[in-house]
Structure 1
Amino acid sequence: METRERGCDYHPNYMSSLIAGRWSECPKCVQEKIDYEMSEAGKKAAADRLAAQSEYLLKKAAIPPRFSDRTLETFIANNEGQQKALGTAHAYVNDFTKTSGQSLILCGGVGAGKTHIAVGIAHELIARQCQCIFTSVIGAVRSVKETYNRSSEITEREAIDNLIKPDLLILDEVGVQFGSDTEKLILFEIINGRYENRKSTIVISNLAMTALAEYLGERVVDRLREDGGKLVVFDWPSHRRQAA
Structure 2
Amino acid sequence: MKQIANVLPAERLTRPANCETHGSYISTNIFGTVWTHCPTCESERLAKEKLEREEFKRKQLFEEFHRKVGDSGIPERFRSRRFSNFVASTDQQKYVLEFCKEYAESFDQVLETGRSAIFVGAPGTGKTHLACAIGMHVMGAYHRTALFSTVMRAVRRVKSSWSRNSLETETQAIEAMVFPDLLILDEVGVQFGSDSEKMILFDVINERYENRRPTLLMSNLSQDEVVAYVGERIIDRMREDGGKVIAFTWDSHRRVK
Name the TM-score, length of structure 2 as normaliser. 0.79
Runs of 4+ in 1 over 4 A off after TM superposition: 35-38
The one of 100, 118, 125 aligned to 1:105: 118
**Match of 1:58, SS?**
helix
5+ residue gaps, structure 2, are 1-45
Look up the match of 2:34.
none
CA shift at 1:100, angstroms?
3.0
Superposed counterparts of 1:115-134, under 5 Å: 115-127=128-140, 128-134=142-148
User: Is 2:71 the counterpart of 1:60?
Assistant: yes
Look up the match of 2:92.
81
Look up the match of 1:167.
181
**Match of 2:241, SS?**
coil
| Structure (1/2) with the larger helix percentage | 2
Look up the match of 2:197.
183
In 2, are the aligned partners of 1:63 and 1:134 still within 8 Å (CA)?
yes
Look up the match of 1:221.
235
Distance 1:49 1:36, change over 3 A: farther
Partner Cα separation in structure 2 for residue 234 and residue 184 of structure 1: 24
Partner Cα separation in structure 2 for residue 87 and residue 38 of structure 1: 41
In 2, are the aligned partners of 1:86 and 1:117 still within 8 Å (CA)?
yes
Partner Cα separation in structure 2 for residue 236 and residue 37 of structure 1: 53
Distance 1:239 1:125, change over 3 A: same
Tell which structure's C-alpha radius of gyration is larger.
2
**Pairwise CA RMSD:** 1.4
5+ residue gaps, structure 1, are 1-34
Equivalent residue pairs, number: 209
The one of 71, 75, 88 aligned to 2:82: 71
**Match of 1:166, SS?**
coil
Name the TM-score, length of structure 1 as normaliser. 0.83
